[in-house]
């Protein structure tokens, strides 16, 4: 059972106190003796905001929430940390009618299919949200079928972390922005040996695999979410998965899934010098930078035949459809995703700037560790598979089996993907 940590920040004192109160204002149709309709400029209200971040991260939220409440002193914010079983607990609260007013989310089609979140297009039309402030790739990731459902929050792309000491020892030049799959494989082969692997793969992460599939011209599902046959098992998709598996089974530059697990996984292996290259989002960067005598760099993902397609990990602040304080909730979501709010998060290394203005102010492009991740934003040109259908998680279960079977060497990629497509069409009735 997770512990709900509640932080109620005060704009006057900045004090951190527990507050378990819920929404307090009444219905718009209440008699005159009841509270009036909630508005950020009217009566004091309390809104709830839920995040999957741990309690240790709440001090950062407190700083941003204090800034919000200085601007809107009549809106008190109750911040709830739910680090365990976050998605299930949000779904449960939605079903029970007591969801937080604002909460972090990433898989928007799931919520839209349930009618659980408020569309935000009206705020674009009123001028309260300016799409031109954002990187378009990031802003568009908050839309479903062209409708905006969230205010973006500290995204990250994926890039390569590389150990400079191991590169120097092997006499391998550092990766450049235009390096290729051949360059990558050649480097990985030269770096492998004496208990060190050149790279580390992930056996079950189909989200990560997408970027390799897209770069190879493949996809997992049709844009309308109704077809996988001829797409998930296309020659382009199969070739990409086979290449990824061959890093383990043919070229031997990556450990097997079991060996990787034994050594602590990619993040730990890179930290301990067991792997020379590691592909990831920004998340481990702060820890690596704090390590003494650890020389490393970051690089853009490699290209194949001149093509490069990257992937974004995005989340955003959504407003619950059942919130009794939607105006106040929107104001909070807007502030958290604003230049002012987001700058605080980026300064702490939580993610990338979602706006060019933030990147310019913080000189993000001048940071050698951040620059490759920032450059990868413009290559995030393909919509992730889960946007195609709210049922993607069920489809993905079959795809994970195919990915794992291929990397374990039990089947070729083509065989495994053909099996996945057959099971999806038979048991899930995709498109029917």
Q: pLDDT band for 432, please (50, 70, 90 cuts).
A: low
Say how far residue 3 (Cα) sits from the centre of its chain. 23
Query: What is the pLDDT, as a whole number, of residue 42?
Result: 64
The answer on 137 and 223 residing in a single domain is: no
The answer on 152 and 77 residing in a single domain is: yes
Contact 151, 333 (CB under 8 A): yes
pLDDT in tens, 213-237: 999 999 999 999 999 999 999 999 9
pLDDT in tens, 241-283: 999 999 999 999 999 999 999 999 999 999 999 999 999 999 9
**Looking at the 3D structure of the chain, how many domains does it have?**
2
Residues spanned by the domain of 238: 159-311+381-428
> Strand, helix or coil at 151?
strand
| Residue found under tokens 């089996």 | 401
Query: What is the pLDDT, as a whole number, of residue 59?
Result: 77
Rounded Cα–Cα distance for residues 268 and 283 (Å): 13
Residue 14 in this model has a pLDDT that exceeds 60: no
- Beta-bridge partners for 144: 147
Mean pLDDT value of segment 312-322: 96
**CA angle 351–354–357, rounded 5-degree value:** 115
The answer on 168 and 66 residing in a single domain is: no
Q: pLDDT band for 9, please (50, 70, 90 cuts).
A: very low
The answer on 183 and 249 residing in a single domain is: yes
Residue 39 in this model has a pLDDT that exceeds 90: no
For position 152, which CATH number holds? 3.40.190.10
The answer on 178 and 61 residing in a single domain is: no
User: DSSP string spanning 69-118?
Assistant: HHH-TTEEEEEEE--SSHHHHHHHHHHHT---SEEEES-HHHHHHTT-B-
Contact 346, 353 (CB under 8 A): yes
**CA angle 351–353–354, rounded 5-degree value:** 110
The answer on 71 and 56 residing in a single domain is: yes
The answer on 296 and 208 residing in a single domain is: yes
The answer on 140 and 201 residing in a single domain is: no
The answer on 215 and 238 residing in a single domain is: yes
The answer on 329 and 225 residing in a single domain is: no
The answer on 124 and 24 residing in a single domain is: yes
Rounded Cα–Cα distance for residues 27 and 67 (Å): 29
Average pLDDT in the chain: 89
The answer on 234 and 169 residing in a single domain is: yes
Rounded Cα–Cα distance for residues 166 and 163 (Å): 5
Residue 399 in this model has a pLDDT that exceeds 90: yes
Q: Which of 359, 377, 395 is the last residue of a domain?
A: 377
Contact 343, 357 (CB under 8 A): no
Percent share of the chain, pLDDT over 90 = 83
pTM of the model as a whole: 0.88
């Amino acid at each position: 059972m997770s512990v709900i940590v509640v932080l109620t920040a005060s704009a006057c004192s900045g004090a951190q106190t527990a507050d378990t109160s819920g929404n307090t204002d009444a219905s718009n149709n209440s008699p005159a003796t009841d509270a009036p309709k909630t508005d950020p400029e009217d009566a004091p209200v309390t809104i709830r905001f839920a995040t999957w971040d741990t309690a240790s991260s709440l001090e950062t939220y407190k700083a941003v929430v204090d800034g919000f409440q200085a601007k809107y002193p009549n809106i008190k914010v109750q911040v709830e940390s739910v680090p365990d079983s976050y998605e299930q607990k949000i779904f449960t609260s939605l079903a029970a009618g007591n969801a937080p007013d604002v909460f972090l989310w990433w898989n928007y089609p799931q919520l839209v299919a349930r009618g659980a979140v408020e569309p935000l297009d009206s705020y674009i039309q009123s001028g309260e949200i300016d799409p031109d402030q954002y990187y378009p790739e990031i802003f568009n990731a908050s839309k479903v079928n062209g409708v905006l459902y969230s205010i973006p929050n500290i995204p990250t792309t994926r890039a390569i972390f590389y150990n400079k000491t191991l590169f120097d020892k092997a006499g391998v030049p550092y990766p450049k922005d235009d390096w290729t799959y051949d360059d990558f494989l050649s480097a990985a082969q030269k770096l492998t040996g004496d208990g060190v692997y050149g790279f580390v793969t992930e056996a079950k992460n189909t989200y990560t695999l997408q970027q390799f599939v897209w770069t190879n011209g493949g996809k997992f599902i049709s844009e309308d979410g109704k077809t996988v046959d001829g797409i998930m098992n296309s020659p382009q998709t199969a070739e990409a998965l086979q290449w990824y598996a061959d890093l383990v089974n043919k070229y031997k530059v990556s450990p097997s899934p079991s060996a990787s697990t034994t050594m602590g996984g990619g993040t730990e292996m890179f930290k301990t010098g067991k792997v020379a290259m590691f592909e990831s989002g920004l998340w481990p960067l702060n820890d690596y930078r704090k390590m003494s005598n650890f020389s490393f760099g970051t690089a853009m993902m490699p290209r194949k035949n001149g093509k490069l397609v990257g992937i974004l990990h995005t989340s955003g602040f959504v407003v619950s459809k059942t919130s009794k304080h939607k105006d106040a909730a929107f104001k909070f979501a807007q502030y958290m995703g604003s230049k002012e709010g987001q700058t605080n998060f980026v300064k702490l290394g939580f993610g990338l700037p979602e706006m060019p203005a933030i990147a310019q102010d913080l000189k993000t492009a001048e940071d050698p560790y951040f620059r490759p991740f920032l450059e990868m934003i413009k290559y995030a040109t393909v919509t992730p598979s889960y946007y195609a259908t709210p049922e993607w998680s069920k489809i993905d279960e079959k795809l994970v089996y195919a990915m794992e079977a291929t990397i374990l060497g039990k089947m070729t990629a083509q065989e495994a993907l053909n099996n996945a497509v057959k099971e999806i069409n038979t048991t899930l009735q995709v498109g029917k």
